[in-house]
Amino acid sequence: MASHTHDHDHDHSTLSEMDIRVRALESLLTQKGYIDPAAIDRIIETYETEVGPHNGAQVVAKAWSEPDFKAWLLKDATAAIASLGFTGRQGEHMVAVENTPEQHNMVVCTLCSCYPWPILGLPPVWYKSAAYRSRAVLEPRKVLADFGVTLPESTRIRVWDSTAEVRYLVLPRRPAGTESLSQAELAQRVTRDAMIGTALA
Amino acid sequence: MNGVHDMGGQQGFGPVHIEKNEPLFHAEWESRAMAVTVAMGASGQWNIDLSRSARESLPPAVYLSSSYYEIWIRALEQLMLARGMVTPAELVSGQMTHAPIKVNRVLTRETVDAALKAGSPTERAIDQPALFKVGQQVRARNMHPQGHTRLPRYVRGHVGTIVHVHGGHVFPDGHTLHATPPFNVPVEWLYTVVFNGSTLWGEHSDPTVEVTVDAWESYLEAAA
């Protein structure tokens, strides 16, 4: 290992070690026939180019535009989301929770990093961080302040801790002044963080 | 296990650092680590609860000082070592010196899309009726199992209200009892329980906060 030095222009000695470690692992598992490198490439490609928050944004924009779809989403999110083609790993059992003037919703996984992959892709580092996981359930209003979000003091905040295989989608409130926008235009307005509950739209 | 992974309500980790325009991966190894971990799940030599258990069983100082994909890789190595799938020397050299064990399935370029699209649903048929219904008050049991559990410490002993009944789901605590296939697959009713923030965090906490957890039936008992 020592003979292999990385000459990066950033300070990441740990990353270099991990780089070597993961390369050795992938090579070993390939030799053993446990993995197919082409499948590894395809998994990465899927989450880099196909599955991400743009999927969830389509779900939200449709719910904002079509009352029947919204009712279905709130009643059976797994089926409603599957109707748009978004299914599978880490989104097998979905629940959608609607923000209202009275209640704001926010999602966390205090025990690990559970996250609705089919509609949001892979979680950002902050979602997996000790700071977010520890504080989201204890002082969500202060966590929201870290994100620059201030809610009226009277708004209830309900934090959903994803401790099972149920995955949560926050349905944000539709921003004012967007009545004339198409679903595609609305989808552009929906951010990843709004669907986690750490932003408003 | 009352491990460091059970982070809800811990203090001292500082503010949440939000990276603007965060890349999906911060180094190439992270992308390979994610995909190798996902692909090795198809080997069928462990289940999702055993893999979570392996991550939270890392030494506390290692868990807290590792990035998330580093935790995944360290746990993956432990899972494979424990099953004789690799040796410590092979992990260092990257060279095979011992024959592989037989695995259930190897994902290929042709089968990977369908596998990701299908996922691994945990809902199962369940014969006995649910003990609790929506609106009912329940207490999270004061329990401290040595093994894997998904009942966070911060709700234990507290009373909340059922807001969802999800059906029968594979029970993680029992799903980790057999380390190798065939696995033990007990099924229990799964609920979502909401707790008042002041119940969990005391009278001086923010009165507008509520917290829910998803809890299997044996985590709960009827309250009053």
B216 touches chain A (CB under 8 A): yes
| Residues B33 and B105 occupy one common structural domain | yes
Q: Tell me if A164 and B214 make a contact (CB, 8 A cut-off).
A: yes
Asked whether the predicted pLDDT for residue A21 surpasses 50, the reply is: yes
pLDDT tens per residue, range B156-194: 999 999 999 999 999 999 999 999 999 999 999 999 999
In which band, very low, low, confident or very high, does the pLDDT at A16 lie, cut at 50, 70 and 90? confident
Shortest alpha-carbon distance between residue B114 and chain A (Å): 9
pLDDT tens per residue, range A102-152: 999 999 999 999 999 999 999 999 999 999 999 999 999 999 999 999 999
* Residue ending a domain, choose from B118, B134, B157: B118
Q: Give the CATH number for residue B139.
A: 2.30.30.50
What residue ranges define each of the domains in chain A, with the CATH number in brackets? 13-48 (no CATH), 52-196 (3.90.330.10)
Domain assignment present for B21: no
The mean pLDDT of B191-199, rounded to a whole number, is: 98
H or E stretch including B222?
A: strand B220-222
Identify the residue among B72, B212, B219 best suited for mutation to test binding to A, counting A beta carbons within 10 A and taking the highest: B212
The mean pLDDT of A30-56, rounded to a whole number, is: 98
Residue A63 contacts by C-beta under 8 Å, 6 or more apart in sequence? A69, A70, A73, A96, A171
The closest CB to that of B106, out of A34, A135, A137, belongs to: A34
pLDDT, chain A, mean: 94
Shortest alpha-carbon distance between residue B224 and chain A (Å): 24
Helix, strand, coil percent content, chain B, rounded in steps of 5: 30, 15, 50
| Residues B134 and B215 occupy one common structural domain | yes
N-term to C-term CA, chain B = 28
The mean pLDDT of A59-81, rounded to a whole number, is: 98
Asked whether the predicted pLDDT for residue B36 surpasses 50, the reply is: yes
> Which range (A4-8, A86-90, B74-78, B124-128) has the least confidence?
A4-8
Nearest residue in chain B measured CA to CA from A109: B8
Pairing assessment for the beta strands A156-161 and A103-108 based on DSSP bridges:
parallel
Nearest residue in chain B measured CA to CA from A157: B209
Q: Is the pTM of this model over 0.90?
A: yes
Cα atoms found within 13 Å of the Cα of residue B114, Cβ hemisphere only: 5
The mean pLDDT of B57-78, rounded to a whole number, is: 97
Domain assignment present for B180: yes
pLDDT tens per residue, range B69-115: 999 999 999 999 999 999 999 999 999 999 999 999 999 999 999 99
Range of the domain at B178: 123-222
Asked whether the predicted pLDDT for residue A10 surpasses 90, the reply is: no
Q: Give the CATH number for residue B56.
A: 1.10.472.20
In which band, very low, low, confident or very high, does the pLDDT at A14 lie, cut at 50, 70 and 90? low
Q: What pLDDT sits at residue A5?
A: 43
pLDDT tens per residue, range A141-200: 999 999 999 999 999 999 999 999 999 999 999 999 999 999 999 999 999 999 999 999
Task: Return the exposure string of B188-208: e unless at least 16 CB atoms fall within 10 Å of the residue's CB, then b.
Answer: bbbbbbbbbbeebbeeeebeb
Identify the residue among A138, A160, A193 best suited for mutation to test binding to B, counting B beta carbons within 10 A and taking the highest: A138
Domain assignment present for B51: yes
